[in-house]
Amino acid sequence: MLALFSALGMVLTFLQTGVSDALGSAHFLLTSSLLLVRRSRPLLVAGAVMVLDVAGIAAGLVTSPTLPEAIAFYSLIRYSSGRPTLFMAVAGIAAYGTVMEFTGPGYGQFLAGGFVVAVPVGVGALVKARAELNERGRREAADAAVQAERRRIARELHDVVAHHITVINALVGGARATLAPEQEVPREALESAQQTARQAMSEMRRLLHVLRADGNDGPDAATGVGADRLPALIGEARSAGLPAGLTVTGEPVPLPSAVDHAVYRIVQEALTNTRKHAAGARASVRLAYEPEAVEVEVLDDGVPQPGGAPGFGLGGMAERVALCGGQLSTGPRPGGGFRVHARIPLEAS
């Protein structure tokens, strides 16, 4: 809009006064047009406007710094930072002050020329500082809300879910104590149920620790399970009736905590899905250490059971892998069965 009015004014001025004033209007039009990219290229715009203004003042096209100059140097400070920005601001003050000193009316024009640059620079710095302060306040408020919600969920888990698991554990233990010595099969089933309840309580405590942590170590970083627990996980799967094997290739290295936990949970969820949806299947787990990434693959040869209820396991896998900057692919295998494959970079995590 500023450029449009400037162009109209340039035409009217040329018709009324002649070439000299029309050139001044053309100068104003050109410097105004540069402001269209002042937010995306603030350093370039400020430098170009400064050169055009100084040249225009020296040539007599304009008598003093123009409005585009003020907007350009305000935008310079508001939308950019670093040493080049500071250098450009100082150069602008010096350049405008110098050209006004030699071309302005009387002496002492250096301060006046520098002042017309220093004012928008100061205003830009003030507005930028205030915007950054407001943004920091918004982030802190959002973080506080997240932490409050995490603490609320932790309280609910502790007061409700953990209580019920504790009751289940106690009831199963009491039932075991009432069995006769010859009732070995029910005793083994109850012992397995009690062990599962204890394991659930252990996992619950780790989840409570995660929820009450500050969340700065990455997703699920504090839960304490990782790739080193995969052999035990495979053993649990076998005990539950799922034939499973584990193959590790490459040189094992310590993984970032988020990646380490994601690897464990991916295998855990994949084996759980196999037990739930493909009874009688066999599963194999491959963990491959590479210089820049880790790969985990879980294969089974089962046939999905019809009518299985959909769950959230695959979506949870995808979220974990995405948070670590990796890629996940899941789907049926050409020869039958199902495949889960994840590749997670180490540096991005």
Token pair recorded at residue 146: 């997240």
Three-state DSSP class for 276? helix
Domain spans, the chain: 1-217, 227-345
Taking only the tens of pLDDT, the chain with its 349 residues reads 444 444 444 443 444 334 456 676 777 788 888 888 888 899 999 888 888 888 888 877 776 677 888 888 898 888 888 888 888 888 888 888 888 777 766 555 677 777 878 888 889 889 989 988 998 888 888 878 877 777 777 666 665 566 566 667 777 777 777 777 766 667 677 777 777 777 777 777 777 666 666 544 444 444 567 899 999 999 888 887 889 999 999 999 988 888 898 899 899 889 888 888 887 889 999 999 998 899 999 999 987 655 554 445 787 788 888 888 899 999 998 888 899 999 999 875 5
Residues 201 and 209: their CA atoms lie apart, in Å, by: 12
Q: Taking the model in full, what pTM does it have?
A: 0.43
Token pair recorded at residue 238: 């076998």
pLDDT for the residue 343: 95
Q: 227-345: which CATH topology?
A: Heat Shock Protein 90 (3.30.565)
Stretch (H or E) spanning 283: strand 283-289
pLDDT for the residue 296: 96
In the chain the first and final C-alpha atoms are separated, in Å, by 47
pLDDT for the residue 302: 82
pLDDT for the residue 289: 94
Percent of the chain as helix, strand, coil, to the nearest 5? 65, 10, 25
